[in-house]
A and B are shown apart, each in its own frame.
Chain A
Amino acid sequence: MSTSTTKRTSFTKALNDALDQGMDRFDEMFLIGEDIGEMGGDFGVTRKLWAKYGAERVRDTPLSEAAIIGTCVGASMVGMRPVAEIMFADFLGECYDQIVNNAAKLHYMFDGQFKAPLVIRTACGGGFGGGPHHSQSVEGWFLNVPGIVIVAPSNPEDAKGLLLASIESDDPVLFLEHKALYRARGEVPTGYYTTPLGSAAIAREGTDITVVATMRMVPMALSAAEALDADGISVEVVDLRTIRPYDAETVLASVAKTGRAVVANEAPKIGGLGAELSARIHEECFSELQAPVGRVDGLDSPIPFSVPLEHEILPDEADITAAIRTTMEASR
Chain B
Amino acid sequence: MQQDQLLDLYRDMWLIRAFEQALEREFEQGGVPGMLHTGLGQEATQAALASQLEATDCFFPDHRCHGINALAQERHKGDGERIMAELFGKSTGVCSGKGGSLHSADPSVGNYGDNAVEGSYMATVLGVALAAKMRGEAKVACAIIGDGTVGRGEFHESLNMAAIWDLPVLYACVNNGYAIATPVGEGHASADIVDLARGYGFPCEQVDGNDIVAAHEAVGKAISHIRAGKGPYFLEFKTWRWQGIFAGEFRPEAEVKYWREDHDPILLANDALEAMGVSQAQRSAIESEQVGRIEEWITFAKESPNPELAKATADVYVGWEVASS
Q: Which A residues fall within an 8 A CB radius of B?
A: 30, 56, 61-62, 64, 66-67, 69-80, 82, 97-98, 101-102, 106-115, 146-147, 149, 169-171, 197-198, 245
Contacts A67-B154, A107-B317, A111-B94 aside, 17 further interface pairs with beta carbons under 8 A come to A61-B161, A64-B160, A69-B123, A70-B157, A71-B126, A74-B125, A74-B129, A77-B128, A78-B127, A98-B120, A98-B124, A102-B120, A109-B95, A110-B98, A110-B105, A114-B107, A171-B318
Q: Which residues 292-325 of B sit at the A interface, judged by CB distance below 8 A?
A: 311, 314-320, 322
How many residues of B are counted as interface, with CB atoms below 8 angstroms from the partner's CB atoms?
A: 45
Cα A122 to Cα B317 with chains together (Å): 22
User: B112 in the interface, Cβ–Cβ < 8 Å?
Assistant: yes
CB atoms of A66 and B123 under 8 A apart: yes
- Interchain CA distance A104-B258 in the complex, whole Å: 44
**CB-based contact B126/A97 at 8 Å:** no
28 A-B Cβ contacts within 8 A?
Answer: A56-B134, A62-B160, A62-B164, A64-B160, A66-B154, A70-B125, A70-B126, A71-B130, A72-B127, A73-B124, A74-B127, A82-B127, A97-B120, A102-B121, A108-B314, A108-B315, A109-B95, A110-B99, A110-B103, A111-B98, A111-B99, A113-B95, A115-B318, A147-B317, A169-B318, A170-B319, A171-B317, A197-B319
Identify which of A62, A73, A101, A169 gathers the most chain B CB atoms within 10 Å of its CB: A73
A-B pair number, CB within 8 angstroms: 144
Contacts of A67 in B (CB 8 A): 123, 126, 154, 157-158, 160-161
Cα A67 to Cα B141 with chains together (Å): 15
A262 CA to B318 CA in the complex, in Å?
A: 32
Q: Which are the 10 A-B pairs with shortest beta-carbon distances?
A: A70-B123, A74-B127, A75-B127, A67-B157, A170-B318, A111-B95, A64-B157, A74-B128, A71-B127, A74-B124
The residue that B126 contacts in the complex, of A74, A147, A149, with Cβ under 8 A, is A74
B94 / chain A contacts, CB cutoff of 8 Å: 111
Closest-CB distance, B21 to chain A (whole angstroms): 27
Is the beta-carbon distance between B124 and A77 smaller than 8 angstroms? yes
A70 to B96, CA, bound (A): 25
**Nearest CB to that of B112 among chain A residues?**
A77
Report Cα–Cα, A98/B154, bound state, in Å.
10
Instruction: List chain B residues, Cβ under 8 A from A78.
Output: 58, 127-128, 131-132
Q: 0/1 per residue, B86-112, Cβ < 8 Å to A?
A: 000000001110110001011100001
